[in-house]
Chains A and B, each alone.
Chain A
Amino acid sequence: MKNRLKVLRAERDWSQADLALRLDVSRQSVNAIETGKYDPSLPLAFKIARLFGMPIEAIFEDG
């Protein structure tokens, strides 16, 4: 699934590891989500949205 995670992360000057730490997931997870190869579960998507203070649909793009 396409998403703006990389941009949002760069805006805050966070590395993948920084974001992983904030989300309590592995760095590989962050990478797989960022590249659009892995779609996070709904709870993790909400966690990401809450961290960036945005609605899920402002971060993830379906279709």
Chain B
Amino acid sequence: MSDIASGARRRYKTRIALAGGLYIVVLVAVLWLFNTSPPTGPVRYVLAVAPALPILGIFFVTAQYLMEEADEFRRMTMVQAMLWGLGLALSFSTVWGFLEAFAGAPLIHLYWVFPIYSFGAGVAQPLVGRRYR
């Protein structure tokens, strides 16, 4: 793409891929460690948090993209897609929370909130773009 404003997008994709790759590596390592010789004491907490850090990196990279993207239209469509993802994640979490509390629904780990958000934002992205075509 010869688009003049695509530099920020390219950097964003690279950074997301790096954070995603790091996440998989850390997760696999932590899973292996907890399955073979579960750590104890403070180390346990540090290692338990480790897979979350690359995910926090994804949040940072996303914020970075929104600040670096020179194209205001792209910024707007991105934010709209993010709002759809946020709406989906918050709605699902709220409804499921009450199902857990009152209807005996199985407990879902909170780390699923981000994948739900990502799914919503990812699906919304092309649909938001289509609205302006």
**Chain A residues with a Cβ under 8 A of chain B:** 17, 20-21, 24-29, 31-33, 35, 37-38, 40-41, 44
The answer on a CB contact under 8 Å between B74 and A29 is yes
State in angstroms the CA–CA spacing of A25 and B73 once bound together. Answer: 8
> Total A-B residue pairs with C-beta atoms closer than 8 Å?
47
Q: Is the interface of B mostly helix, strand, loop or mixed?
A: loop
**Chain B residues with a Cβ under 8 A of chain A:** 2-6, 70-74, 76, 129, 131-133
Q: What 10 new A-B contacts, CB under 8 Å, besides A24-B5, A26-B4, A26-B74?
A: A21-B4, A25-B5, A25-B73, A28-B132, A29-B71, A29-B74, A31-B133, A32-B73, A35-B132, A38-B132
**Across the two chains, which residue of chain B brings its CB closest to A32?**
B132
The answer on a CB contact under 8 Å between B3 and A38 is no
Q: Which of A26, A31, A32, A33 contacts B3 (CB 8 A)?
A: A26
Can you spell out 30 A-B residue pairs with CB atoms less than 8 angstroms apart?
A17-B2, A20-B3, A24-B4, A25-B4, A25-B70, A25-B72, A25-B73, A26-B4, A26-B5, A26-B6, A26-B71, A26-B73, A26-B74, A27-B3, A28-B73, A28-B74, A28-B132, A29-B71, A29-B72, A29-B74, A31-B132, A31-B133, A32-B73, A32-B132, A32-B133, A35-B133, A37-B133, A38-B73, A38-B132, A44-B72
